[in-house]
Amino acid sequence: MDTSNSAKKRAMSPSTDTEARYRKGKNSIKRLKVEERDAEPQAIRPKREEPNNEEPMFPLPPFCQTPGPISVSQSYIRRLILEHWNTEIRYCEKAKKLGQLEIGPAPGLRLTIIQASLQRLVAERWDAEVKRCEEAKRAQLLELLLAAHGIMRLV
């Protein structure tokens, strides 16, 4: 088997084809020499300043100020609170259904006592979680209402 003929018949890969053109001088890309790029006069380049050890190394006043409070309408914050907690409640209800389906009997079979008690435990757990979410939602809405009237804390 003649390997030299088989190598000639194969097409060259794009990378080797490009390399071959570049070596032959057919490449139209002109590259600057290193000396040409750095031929900038020294007077134009800014001088590097040495750090002063006497001055503290932290940002000056515009960068270290705490921004003021952002004014947002009460209805917008109320809507955000409601959306958040309603999403949590929907998640809890979905998780409750999925948990009960995992424990459920095979099609055509009746629930055993153990499966029924496990389903009850899953339902109680997620119902308690829904109750906690609803209480947290009511508490945040009450805080928002009190803050709107200037009451920041209860004594």
CA distances from 142 to 66, 111, 139, 152, 154 (A): 28, 44, 5, 11, 12
Q: What is the mean pLDDT of residues 66-86?
A: 88
Which tens digits make up the pLDDT trace of 101-145? 888 777 777 878 888 899 999 999 999 999 999 999 999 999 999
Separation CA 123–CA 126 (nearest Å): 5
Rg for the chain (alpha carbons), in Å?
37
pLDDT of residue 44: 57
Note whether 111 and 104 are within 8 A (CB). yes
Question: Would you state the structure tokens that stand for residue 11, as one six-digit string?
Answer: 């097409």
Which tens digits make up the pLDDT trace of 36-60? 455 555 555 555 566 556 665 665 6
pLDDT of residue 137: 96
DSSP state of 65: P
Residue 4 reports pLDDT greater than 60: no
